[in-house]
Structures are given as structure tokens and as C-alpha cells.
Amino acid sequence: MQIPYTIEERPDTGLNNSKLGIWVFLASEVMLFGGLFSAYVFLRMAAPAGDFSYWGTKLSIPMATVNTLVLISSSVTMIMSWVSLKMKDFEKYKMYMGLTLLCASIFLVIKYFEYTGKFHHGIYPSSSTFMGIYFTLTGLHGLHIIGGMIVMGYFWLPAGYKMWESEPDHFTNRIEVVGLYWHFVDLVWIFLFPILYLL
């Protein structure tokens, strides 16, 4: 027996079950990152003058800028993968989802080189309060990237085609939900980039 409201919207919320579930989950994620952003603000206000600015100069703005462009591009390809399914074009979905995964991989590779560069110069989370926050926020964000890649990869593999063949509307809804998660992850980085690298 199929669970109701996996395709149709619920009459009480106007959302299907998966979309309602992801919005509740994202609300908890907003509280998680909101708490960490607030901690950053309070710690920066209490830090000695110039301390955070000094450690901020140890970050690579060019690498972060490229990563920002990569993630924004991945949001576009994520939307296009969903639109392709709405247009019943599974091959285009595969292409755009593959590009989204490629962008996510590029982001992680750049972040890997950024981290190893810090370690090479003797900069660790224990080096300063700023670096502790930097590694916590970007590391947690990186884990969210990996989690999103695992889900997208699952739907991009042959298992996704089987779901598309049996329940195309349900599969399309799943990709929309994954897209909402991915846009949230991108939005978090858009906040992280100026707060950590530019201010």
C-alpha cells in the first residue's frame, strides 16, 4: 500500500509529504547554523582589536571566490535537472545532475587544497578562536556537501532510472526535495563567504 500524499499535496498544508518533511528539516538546519553564526558574531565582538582581521588574512579569497561561483552554478544545474524531469526528458536530467555532482566535487577539491595549505603553514583549529570557528563552520558545511552528493549520486545511478520508469511523478518530487536541500547548502556558503573571508 502506498503512503498517501507522496505526489498530491496534503489538504492541510498544501505540500506533499516529502516537501513538508524537508522544510521541517531545513528549519532545524537554520537553527543549527544560526547558532554558529551568532557565536561567531559574539566571539568577534569580544576578541581583541585586530585579532579576527589578522587571522582572516590567512584565508584565500580567490579560492573561496571560485568556490562561490562553483556552488552558484551547481544551484542552476540542480534546477535544470528538476525542470528536465518536469519536461519528461530523463537524459537531460542525467546530464544536469551529473554537472551538479561535478560542481560539488570541484568545491570539495578546492576546499581540500585550502585546508592542506593551512596545515602546511602550521595553521590549525587550535591556532586561534577565528580558526576554530572557520574550521567548524566550513567543515560542517563540507559534511552537508558530502551528504547532498551521496543522495544525488544515488538518484543519478541506475537506481534512479528504475524509479523514473515506475513512478515518474514521485521521482520528480524527490529530486525537487533534494534541490531544496542543495539550495540551502549553497545559501549557507553565500553567508559564510563574506562573513569569514571578506569582513
Which pLDDT value is given to residue 1?
46
What's the mean pLDDT in 50-77?
93
What's the pLDDT tens digit per position in 162-177? 889 988 998 999 999 9
* Burial track 43-76 (b if 16+ CB lie within 10 A, e otherwise): ebeeeeeeebeebbeebeeeebeebbebbebbbe
Query: Average model confidence (pLDDT) for the chain?
Result: 91
**102 vs 159: which has the higher pLDDT:** 102
Q: For the whole prediction, is pTM greater than 0.75? A: yes
Q: Is 108 helix (H, G, I), strand (E, B) or coil?
A: helix
What's the pLDDT tens digit per position in 78-113? 999 999 999 999 999 999 999 999 999 999 999 999
Which pLDDT value is given to residue 87?
95
Spatial neighbors of 197 by CB under 8 A, at least 6 apart, are 56, 59, 61, 64
| Cα distance between residue 65 and residue 49, in whole Å | 26
Find the helix packing angle between 129-156 and 168-192, rounded to 10°: 160
| Cα distance between residue 160 and residue 67, in whole Å | 28
**62 vs 9: which has the higher pLDDT:** 62
Which pLDDT value is given to residue 17?
80
Residue found under cell 566571539: 43
Which pLDDT value is given to residue 3?
64
What's the mean pLDDT in 72-82?
97
Domain 18-42+53-198 architecture: Up-down Bundle (1.20)
Which pLDDT value is given to residue 52?
85
For residue 2, name the pLDDT band (cuts at 50, 70, 90): low
Closest CA relative to residue 23, chosen from 181, 176, 191: 181
